Structure formats: structure tokens, C-alpha cells
Amino acid sequence: MLYKVPLLLAPQSEGGFTVTSPMLPELLTEGDTVEEALANVQDALSAVVELYEDLGRKLPDNMQISSTTESMWLETVVATP
């Protein structure tokens, strides 16, 4: 399943980054680099989806992408050398 998830990437004073989502307060992950932090989002989101299923809660309707045959808006962070 595909989900559109707004993310907040916050630098930490001790180094690294924390990733949270204003739509899913339970989503929390981190990484030493931006790339690592964003790579960890997939596992964090999977855990939140499982938690919601276990609790019988529904994810917000506007997060689920029902079709991959249509264009969709996507913003991401890309690092260049």
C-alpha cells in the first residue's frame, strides 16, 4: 500500500536528525544523516500502520493512495555531491 505522509525532519543538537509526522504522532524515527533518517521512515510507518490495525483505528483517509496509474504530487529531499 502507498501512503502520502507529511514529514518533519528536525536536526538534533547532538547530531543526526529526527523525523516525525504531524498527521501521525506515533511516527518517530531518526538517523545520523538525512538519507538514513528518511530511509528509516518506511519501517516507522509500517509499525504505525500495524499499531493502528491492532487498535482498530483508521489512518486518515487522505493519506492512502488508491491508484498508481495517475500522477501524484511528491516532495522529497535529495542530496547532491
Measured in whole angstroms, how far is the alpha carbon of residue 80 from the centre of its chain?
22
Answer yes or no: is 9 within a domain.
Answer: yes
**Residue 16 confidence (pLDDT) above 90:** yes
What is the pLDDT at residue 32? Answer: 97
Length, in residues, of the chain? 81
What is the pLDDT at residue 26? Answer: 96
Which ranges in the chain belong to alpha helices (H)? 34-39, 41-55
Average pLDDT over residues 19-33: 96
CATH number, domain at 34?
3.30.160.250
pTM value is: 0.83
Answer yes or no: is 64 within a domain.
Answer: no
DSSP state of 25: T
Over residues 35-75, the pLDDT tens digits come to: 999 999 999 999 999 999 999 999 988 888 877 787 878 78
**What contacts 17, CB < 8 A, 6 or more positions away?**
9, 10, 11, 30, 31, 32, 33, 34, 37
Note down the domain range covering 29. 2-55
Answer yes or no: is 36 within a domain.
Answer: yes
What's the total number of domains in the chain? 1
